[in-house]
Amino acid sequence: MRMHNPPHPGEILRELCLKPLGISISEAAKSLGVSRKTLSNILNGRSGISPEMSIRLSIAFDTTPESWLNQQIQYDLWQAEKHRAQLKVSRLMTADCIAA
């Protein structure tokens, strides 16, 4: 089941992971092995969590990479669903096509 209007994973990272530690973006970026700009873009919702970043975050915060990617997928899907009516798609069906 999809979450209603899920937050960007950067917001979760900022509010639940970095703020409680009281570390700066620069310190966190250094610990993650990425540039300050890269981390800032994620925290401000301008970039998403990539598979590689999900691994970095899982190591840093003792979480799973899947948890970070799932947050990103939920956020992206919610954003895409807002534009569903604008998509020009015709239904295609076969007996062999089964939804997962």
Q: Is the pLDDT of residue 95 over 80?
A: no
2 in a structural domain: no
CATH classification at residue 17: 1.10.260.40
28 in a structural domain: yes
13 in a structural domain: yes
pTM: 0.85
Q: Is the pLDDT of residue 86 over 70?
A: yes
Number of structural domains found in the chain: 1
pLDDT for residue 100: 57
Distance, CA of 40 to CA of 26 (rounded, Å): 9
Q: Find the domain containing 80 and state its range.
A: 9-86
- The torsion angle over the Cα atoms of residues 71, 77, 81 and 82, rounded to 10 degrees, is 50
Residue range 19-49, pLDDT digits in tens: 999 999 999 999 999 999 999 999 999 999 9
Instruction: Give the lowest-confidence range in 30-34, 53-57, 88-92.
Output: 88-92
Tokens of 34: 């990425």
34 in a structural domain: yes
99 in a structural domain: no
Residues 6+ apart with CB under 8 A from 1: none
pLDDT for residue 92: 87
70 in a structural domain: yes
